[in-house]
Amino acid sequence: MTAPRTIVTGLFISLDGVVEAPETWHFPYLNDEMDAAVGEMYAGADTLLLGRKTYESFAAVWPQQSGELADAINNIRKLVASTTMTGADWNNSAVIEGDVVTAVKELKRQPGGNITLTGSIGLTRTLVAAGLVDELRLLVHPIVLGTGTRLFPEGSERVPLRLTRSTTFSTGVLDLSYQPV
């Protein structure tokens, strides 16, 4: 029997827990260290899991990009969790049909590499609550935004985590990896 696949969730996050619209605050912290960290998340993966909003924003940008990371993102198998989409036109993309938790459980049982979940706040929350995320990788930016959607909003269920890795980039961004306890 093959080992279950691993789901690694990667998010840009502010010091006050905001994960919304990183394109409006993340770029001043982008450097080679950040590029390497993001590239590493895709390196062991053969599937990219996205929510609808993240899929739409990625599909609007990445097909026009070039380079190693763009090639990885454009060519990887992409599965979109959406209750409103009926099709996905971006290369190697498909919409998950039915209940996303059931579909992801089945996906984890199939042979293959890691599954990377990027952005997709609602999907991340759903899969964390279902116990399906194996690694939560947070790139914590040294900025307080004050407003915006937080990864774990007020009233969230308790989720015990164990820090498995930490690195500090020259920009002050913390690269933190957690696993469920």
What's the pLDDT score for residue 40?
87
What's the pLDDT score for residue 2?
64
First-last CA distance in the chain:
24
Instruction: Give the domains, in start order, of the chain with CATH numbers.
Output: 7-180 (3.40.430.10)
What's the pLDDT score for residue 41?
85
Q: Going residue by residue through the chain, which has 181 residues, state the pLDDT in tens, using 9 for 90 and above.
A: 567 799 999 999 999 999 999 999 999 999 999 989 988 888 889 999 999 999 999 999 999 999 888 898 999 999 999 989 888 999 999 999 889 999 999 999 999 999 999 989 999 999 999 999 999 999 999 999 999 999 998 888 899 999 999 999 999 999 999 999 9
What's the pLDDT score for residue 10?
94
The pTM assigned to this predicted structure is 0.91
Q: Collapse the DSSP code of 53 into the 3-class scheme (helix H, G, I; strand E, B; otherwise coil) and give the result.
A: helix
The 3-state secondary structure of 109-154 reads HCCCCEEEEECCHHHHHHHHHCCCCCEEEEEEECCCCCCCCECCCC
What's the pLDDT score for residue 43?
83
